[in-house]
Amino acid sequence: MIPLTPHALLRPLQLSDAAALFDVIEANRSLLEQYLYWTASVTSVEDTYRYIDERIHSKANGAAWYAIVFQARIAGVLGVKAIDVAKSEMEMGYWLGAQAQGHGIVTRAVLAVANRIFNEQQVKTLVLHCLAENQASQRVAQRLGGRWVEVVKGFYELDGSVQDLQIAHVTLPITLSTKPPT
């Protein structure tokens, strides 16, 4: 367990989270499907179980997946997708339901996990992928000191709207110049 605020923490994502996580996905589907390709394939508790299973049993080097818990309820997911030892990079992804947004939870979560991995493995760069219209994710990257290094044009299409993918690099360890919201 990794405490983030008096009302938020990270803990390992578990298969037993499927029903609660599905409820969060359903409550936030219109928001999540704007930015996350997998929402179309997660339409039941069983699908959510598979979503969790694929992540927690990933064979990617260094992969680790966490439930974001806010006010004693699961509110989203944070994942270390992979660690590339040769490049000294790690990629992380995250999503958070609307009820928990605006409290600096994701910024604190990424900070805690990225710095822990830096201390344990000396990984030097955190890579974050953000769709161009996902302002909340872009703000997280900016708060963490990220610099935009690449844009992949036409990366994601939803209902005829095409979004570019922006890639940010954050130098580790992360030290925040301003505190995230509470």
Q: In this predicted structure, what is the pLDDT of residue 177?
A: 60
DSSP-assigned letters across all residues of 105-137? HHHHHHHHHHHHHHHHH---EEEEEEETT-HHH
Q: In this predicted structure, what is the pLDDT of residue 169?
A: 97
Q: In this predicted structure, what is the pLDDT of residue 128?
A: 97
Task: Look up the pTM and report it.
Answer: 0.92
Instruction: For residue 52, tell me if it sits in a domain.
Output: yes
Q: In this predicted structure, what is the pLDDT of residue 30?
A: 93
Between 96 and 159, whose confidence is greater?
96
Q: In this predicted structure, what is the pLDDT of residue 181?
A: 57
- Please report, for the domain that includes residue 115, its CATH number: 3.40.630.30
Instruction: For residue 176, tell me if it sits in a domain.
Output: no
Instruction: For residue 117, tell me if it sits in a domain.
Output: yes
Instruction: For residue 179, tell me if it sits in a domain.
Output: no
Instruction: For residue 120, tell me if it sits in a domain.
Output: yes
Q: What are phi and psi of 87, to 5 degrees?
A: -90, -10
pLDDT band, very low/low/confident/very high, at 175 (cuts 50, 70, 90)? confident
Number of structural domains, the chain?
Answer: 1
Instruction: For residue 80, tell me if it sits in a domain.
Output: yes
Instruction: For residue 111, tell me if it sits in a domain.
Output: yes
Q: Which domain holds residue 116?
A: 2-171
Instruction: For residue 68, tell me if it sits in a domain.
Output: yes
Residue-wise pLDDT tens digits, 6-61? 999 999 999 999 999 999 999 999 999 988 989 999 999 999 999 999 999 999 99
| H or E segment and range at residue 138 | helix 135-143
Residue-wise pLDDT tens digits, 74-130? 999 999 999 999 999 999 999 999 999 999 999 999 999 999 999 999 899 999 999
DSSP-assigned letters across all residues of 28-70? THHHHTTT-GGGGG--SHHHHHHHHHHHHT--STT-EEEEEEE
Q: In this predicted structure, what is the pLDDT of residue 15?
A: 98
Q: Kindly report the CA angle at 170 between 164 and 173, in degrees rounded to 5? A: 160
Q: In this predicted structure, what is the pLDDT of residue 160?
A: 80
Give the residue among 163, 180, 24, 6 at the shortest CA–CA distance from 110.
180
Helical axes 105-121 vs 135-143, angle rounded to 10°? 50
